[in-house]
Chain A
Amino acid sequence: MKKIGVIGGGTMGQGVAEMLSVKGLDVFLVERTPEQLDLSYEQIEINLDKQLEKWAITVAEKKLILSRIHKTLEYNQLSQCDMIIETITEDLELKKEVFNKLDDYCPKHIILASNTSTLSLTELANETNHPERVIGMHFLHPVSKVDLVEIIRGLKTSEETFEHTKHFVEDMITKKGIMVYESPGFVTTRLICVLINEALHTLQEGVASAEEIDVAMRNGYDFKHGPLEMCDRFGLDAVLAAMERMFREFGDIKYRPSFLLKKMVRAGHLGVKSGEGFFRYDKDGDRL
């Protein structure tokens, strides 16, 4: 595999595109408008500059990484790719539309992967004429640093598609791949969202302050960020959406989103992206 298409240039799309390019692969980054495409490319450049500041890469490496990321608005460019990774917003209808389109433009040997964290692969696959080539590849943010990919098998995903994807994850982009079967939230989102939700209940009940809840988990259990800061970093709206989806799918009360979460989302306190959530952040996303 040499060329990979990435649909969607949001936070995850930027991270995936950059990581693929760092690994020496050519990336075709697709967005809906030229403005969004430029914005997303600029953001990748900003991310690389941050890494440059942290000595992770050199100026020459930055240039090389950017030179392998090709901007495009046209799906027909994707027919030359070996794999497509869709990373658009977590919305089933929008994703269905993308897969429908991909199915038209990509010959059937091209693997179509979705970076979904909670949606049904089988449902997405059913939008296409070749559901056997559809698979899930759930990356975690920040993509370049997190050594994990959940490889999700839909009901109709073929053994061949799975084996190719596993080889891609473990040997080409050298990340740890775990195999999961389709289920809302898979492993990572399900476990972490429940923890965050429980932290919110703990906060709401006045058991401890936000700061101390986070210290407890950081110092006590060696978390890099506490659950509330994690929630800020994921985006409160994203956590709420994931909880609501799991609540709906499982129908189990333990997935019911905390009322505090709903209230904060309504108030526009979305975490790092709005500068304020449970804690406050500067525009670089550093805690104030």
Chain B
Amino acid sequence: MKNNILIEINNLTKIYLKGREPALDELNLDIYNGEIFGLLGPNGAGKTTTISILCNLISSTDGYCKINGYQVQKDFKHIKHFIGVVSQDIALYQLLTAYENLFYFGSMYDLPRKELKENIDYFLEKMGLFKVKNEKIKHFSSGMKRRVNLIAGILHKPWLVFLDEPTVGIDVQSRMVIIDYLKELNLKGVTLMYSSHMLDEAEKFCTRIAILDYGKLLAIGTPAELIEQYNEHCANLEDVFLNLTGRHVRD
């Protein structure tokens, strides 16, 4: 597996404002092909910053990261073609219908028109949204919006997907649909990098987890390994998380 590194993060540091604490502090991580890699941590731990740097949305202050051998800041134009990004925000046009949103974002990948339409219909059907495909996004519930948001990130069938809290703020049913489909994707060989606050979900879903706090890597391993490592005090991942990050409230 170690020969199969897909994402290589090396001494990655991000300082948003000079004089402030770093959002990422010399982070080192390797993520392998075919993994469902979970990035966990309290608010301000550096999860979104890590994903934003990997998606070239912000630049790092120091260090570097590579995806499939391409350096993110230099060769992102090559990376764009095989990654999918599912952001924490509902990154959709509210005045467009679900179909129009997906058609627009799908058009950016040079997929043949017929294939694009088939993909849209397939994913809408899969996510239980086919019947409402011609309704405007602004009329959708949070769960429906999240599902369309997910489809927009995977429509072009990428083999690496970044998911930044993809199930936040939705009901159990919608969450199940999303998680089940992501597992299905992973079974097809798609690597998923996932960040969340939902520890029970992460414990069941992820093949490997990294716990961050204050931009530093605190622990890394499979959920079972992490629980095993803190066996004396911890019965589940949530206990491990609290053990590592403490119980005080974060901003």
- Mutual binders A and B: no
Chain B residues close to A by CB (< 8 Å):
none
